[in-house]
Amino acid sequence: MPRGPWSIPLLGVAYRINQAAPHMTYTQWSKRYGDIMSLTLFGTQRVVVVSSEQTIREVLINKKEYFSGKTLLISNTDIELPETNNFRD
């Protein structure tokens, strides 16, 4: 797993994320941990955060075999995906 912010048991890093603007927290962390980081939410849920457009495209297009079947959450509305949004094919 990629590096990421430290977490505490049961809460993970959830308590450190700005609930009103979570993207600001991820932007701050990406400056320290890079474009790909891992987080633990609520103690057991592991999440990989990809924070740059170039890296997101790399993950969705060039590494699609690895991420196929994984839950995908996109919170950056500035990124345009293909019309079908079917990056797994």
Of 31 and 83, the structure prediction assigns the larger pLDDT to 31
- Neighbour-count burial for 33-70, b at 16+ CB within 10 Å, e otherwise: bebbbbbbeeeeeeeebbbeeeebeebbeeeeeeeeee
SS3 assignment for 39-77? EEECCCEEEEEECCHHHHHHHHHHCHHHHCCCCCCCCCC
Where in the chain are the domains? 14-67
d(CA 88, CA 61): 8
Tell me the residue type at 20.
Answer: A
Could you report the per-residue pLDDT of 32-70, keeping only the tens digit for each?
Answer: 999 889 989 887 888 888 888 888 888 888 887 877 777
The per-residue pLDDT for 79 is 54
Mean per-residue pLDDT, 17-42: 90
